[in-house]
Amino acid sequence: MQPDHEFTVRTLDLDAGGKDFSFPIRAPWVRGILEDHEANATDRDGKLEVRASKSGTDVVVHGTLDASLIVPCARCLEPVDIDVHSDLSVIYVPGSKVKDAEAKGEIEYTLEDAEADTLPYDGETVLLDDLVRDELLLGVPMIPLCSEDCPGMSPAPGSDAQAAEKKDIDPRLAPLMAFRAKTTK
């Protein structure tokens, strides 16, 4: 096993019956792989539980990923805990199949629909690190909110926005201001 990879499965240990693997998803590892992303790790470790089996030279991996991330709220920018749960189902094919296609002049290889969950592996080890990173990123909501009724960022005390609220209001907005006063009580 290579020390720079966190989640490895040796293909020599596998047969058609399969083998179960359980890996902790350590918070420092998550921080390292998400350095360029606004999401970050919590102080809790996650877990990756998979069953890997061989089918000829291919390796079939099924399992689940559970982890926690911290992301900023899209409205108020306060930190929000996000629980990521993902069901995994991937087929790893030997990287030599891809290299053979390149050698035959099929450099621009297009995935078919049936191959969408197919990834290459090289040598005697299947590395799940990239899969885990991708699943963590896909688990982050596009617009994370701390709560559905988050009001967003409030103006800083003494700012122009707060002063503008105290100025005379356009008379056309008076009915809205009256409604606002009734609903905020």
Convert the chain into a string of H (helix), E (strand) and C (coil): CCCCCCCEEEHHHCCCCCEEEEEEECHHHHHHHCCCCCCEECCCCEEEEEEEEEECCEEEEEEEEEEEEEEECCCCCCEEEEEEEEEEEEEEEEHHHHHHHHHCCCCCCCCCHHHCCEEEECCCEEECHHHHHHHHHHCCCCCCCCCCCCCCCCCCCCCHHHHHHHCCCCHHHHHHHHHHHHHCC
Domain assignment present for residue 154? The answer is: no
**What is the C-alpha to C-alpha distance for residues 88 and 129, in angstroms, rounded to an integer?**
13
pLDDT, residue 182, reads 87
Confirm if 2 and 126 have CB atoms less than 8 A apart. no
Q: Which two tokens stand for residue 126?
A: 């299947």
Query: Exposed (0-12), middle (13-18) or buried (19+): which is 69, by Cβ within 10 Å?
Result: buried
pLDDT, residue 1, reads 35
pLDDT in single tens digits along all 185 residues of the chain: 334 788 999 998 888 889 999 999 999 999 999 988 899 999 999 999 999 999 988 999 999 999 999 999 999 999 999 999 999 999 999 886 555 555 556 555 555 555 567 888 887 899 999 999 999 999 999 999 999 888 887 766 665 555 555 566 778 888 888 888 888 76
Domain assignment present for residue 73? The answer is: yes
pLDDT, residue 50, reads 96
Domain assignment present for residue 178? The answer is: no
Domain assignment present for residue 104? The answer is: yes
- Strand partners of residue 20: 51
Domain assignment present for residue 97? The answer is: yes
Confirm if 119 and 92 have CB atoms less than 8 A apart. yes
What would the 3-class secondary structure string for 48-93 be? EEEEEEEECCEEEEEEEEEEEEEEECCCCCCEEEEEEEEEEEEEEE
Domain hosting 133: range is 8-138
pLDDT, residue 5, reads 86
The total number of structural domains in the chain stands at 1
pLDDT, residue 3, reads 44
Q: Which two tokens stand for residue 20?
A: 């179960």
The total number of residues written for the chain in this structure: 185
Domain assignment present for residue 77? The answer is: yes
Domain assignment present for residue 17? The answer is: yes
